[in-house]
Amino acid sequence: MKIPFIDLQSQYQAYKGEIDSAIQNVLDTSQYIMGPSVKQFEASLTEYVGAKHAIGCASGTDALLLALMAIGIKPNDEIITTPFTFIASSEVISLLGAVPVFVDIEADTYNINAELIKNKITSKTKAIMPVSLYGQIADMDAINSIAEKHNLIVIEDAAQSFGATYKGKKSCNLSHFGCTSFFPSKPLGCYGDGGALFTNDDEFAEKARLFLAHGSKRRYDHEVIGINGRLDAIQAAILDVKLKYFEDEVQSRAEKGQYYIDLLKDKGIQLPTIKEERTSVFAQFTLQSENREGFIKKLNDNDVPTAIHYPTPLHLQKCYKGLNYNVGDFPISEKAANEVFSLPMSPFITKEQQSYIVDLF
């Protein structure tokens, strides 16, 4: 049985008529930059997430960058984050000349360990950037309360957790900023690059919008140095269709995730742990085992694709040699990097496919 890692084709077929006509509509009106489709999608996003402001942008990376720019991050400022994430989380910190300060993760959720944060706070610390990895939100109450005590901004990297909830509230609406990605393989994906930034603060929203469009509110009038970070109008039109069906997909993801967990029980492998009062959108369905290579070989030999999110923690990346971290600095992250692997997952995976996969364990 040939199984796609993420079944984007079945998803497109399910909404094809509406998506095709949404794209055609943008072509018919020729409003390619900003315009009504972006405005409409931002309104839909605001309603879905519950935050006051939703700002479409060119990627999840730009959403993170814009949040940092909006709070005025400067060279040598310090931002606390996790080393067990995709490079974009810390990349934007470094691009501004600021310093990512890493804190190890929890062994069960793979998210930043809030208890270890306070030891890393200095007079230079400006913000905390938790990453809601694999689709489960980090421990936001604990993180927000540390931030409040030390007057820090919290930016949730919610690229993998769009649609997940924490105590009934949606990801992206749990801190000063929520930043998500619409990269095709993310829970809500478009057909190219896209992202969005959320905040309940009017001033932060205004600043983010200013930086998003070359630091300009009026054409050829530039108040600050900004970027070209706009969300593409065609992607916005596609996303607005997909968002209508997204809650059903979130439900399906939860069911498929639970089905995997039920099938994989008693196989002597570490399963995803979903904490009380949280839901996961299973952006990845990730397992952990010392025998990772054996499982991957068996799966791949039987046409089941796998992936490793992520094989090298950020503190050990070549690009961060200058930060002088060493092997052993973040043992939980390093162990995870050596042992995790992800199985095919999407709202369209069938129970038959899941059983086939699990029978290979």
157 binds ligand PLP (CB under 6 A): yes
For ligand PLP (CB under 6 A), the number of binding residues is 15
86 binds ligand PLP (CB under 6 A): yes
- Note whether 211 and 224 are within 8 A (CB): yes
60 binds ligand PLP (CB under 6 A): yes
Taking 3-state DSSP, the helix, strand and coil percentages for the chain, each rounded to the nearest 5, stand at 45, 15, 40
Q: Which is nearer to ligand PLP, 88 or 343 (CB)?
A: 88
The first and second tokens of residue 249, run together, are 């997909």
Please report how close the Cβ of residue 17 comes to ligand PLP at its closest, in angstroms: 27
Please report how close the Cβ of residue 89 comes to ligand PLP at its closest, in angstroms: 5
Phi, psi of 284 (to 5 degrees): -130, 145
195, 272, 313, 347: which one contacts ligand PLP (CB under 6 A)? Answer: 195
165 binds ligand PLP (CB under 6 A): no
19, 68, 70, 88: which one contacts ligand PLP (CB under 6 A)? Answer: 88
Identity of the residue numbered 331:
P
59 binds ligand PLP (CB under 6 A): yes
Please report how close the Cβ of residue 87 comes to ligand PLP at its closest, in angstroms: 8
**DSSP letters spanning 144-207:** HHHHHHHT-EEEEE-TTTTT-EETTEETTSSSSEEEEE--TTSSS--SS--EEEEES-HHHHHH
How many Å apart are CA 92 and CA 224, to the nearest integer? Answer: 18
Q: Which is nearer to ligand PLP, 286 or 354 (CB)?
A: 286
Q: Which residue's Cβ has the minimum distance to ligand PLP?
A: 60
Phi, psi of 19 (to 5 degrees): -70, -45
181 binds ligand PLP (CB under 6 A): yes
DSSP state letter for 280: B
Q: Which residues bind ligand PLP (CB under 6 A)?
A: 59-61, 85-86, 88-89, 131, 157, 159-160, 181, 183, 193, 195
